[in-house]
Amino acid sequence: MARALLLESPHESADEVFARVGIDVVRAPGALQGADLVDALRGVDILGIRSKTSLTREVLEASAHLTAIGAYCIGTNQIDLATASRLGIAVFNAPYANTRSVVELAIAEAIALTRRLPEKNAALQSGVWAKSAEGAHEVRGKTLGIVGYGSIGTQLSILAEALGMHVIFHDVAERLAIGNAARVRSLSQLLAASDIVSIHVDGRPSNKGFFGKDRIAEMKRGAILINLSRGSVVDVDALRERLADGSLGGAAIDVFPREPDANGERFSSPLAGLPNVILTPHIGGSTIEAQESIGAFVSDKLTSYWRKGLTDMSVNIPCIDASPDSTTRHRVAWIHSNTPGALALVNAVFADAGANIDAQTLATTGDVGYMVTDISSPLPSSALTELEALPHSIRIRVLHRDS
Q: Burial, 185: exposed, middle or buried (Cβ in 10 Å; 0-12, 13-18, 19+)?
A: exposed
Query: Which listed residue (3, 137, 282, 401) is catalytic?
Result: 282
The amino acid occupying position 84 is: A
388 as an active site residue: the answer is: no
Please say whether the beta carbons of 239 and 83 come within 8 A.
no
SS3 128: coil
Cα–Cα distance for residue pair 4/69, rounded to 1 Å: 10
259 as an active site residue: the answer is: yes
282 as an active site residue: the answer is: yes
DSSP label at 275? T
Helices (H) and strands (E) in the chain, counts: 13, 16
Cα–Cα distance for residue pair 225/228, rounded to 1 Å: 10
Taking the CA atoms of residue 142, residue 144, residue 145 and residue 146 in that order, the dihedral angle to the nearest 10 degrees is 180
Cα–Cα–Cα angle for 319, 92, 284, nearest 5°? 130
Cα–Cα distance for residue pair 304/321, rounded to 1 Å: 9
CA–CA distance from 44 to each of 27, 38, 62, 74, 112 (Å)? 12, 10, 12, 23, 46
Query: Which listed residue (230, 242, 331, 392) is catalytic?
Result: 230
Query: Which listed residue (104, 218, 259, 289) is catalytic?
Result: 259
Q: Which helix (H) or strand (E) holds 24?
A: strand 24-28
Cα–Cα distance for residue pair 212/65, rounded to 1 Å: 43
CA–CA distance from 122 to each of 135, 136, 243, 286 (Å)? 16, 15, 17, 24
The alpha-carbon radius of gyration of the chain (Å, integer) is 25
Residue 355: half-sphere exposure toward Cβ, Cα within 13 Å: 26
**Helix residue ranges, H only, 80-198:** 81-86, 99-114, 117-125, 151-162, 187-193
Catalytically active residues are 230, 259, 282
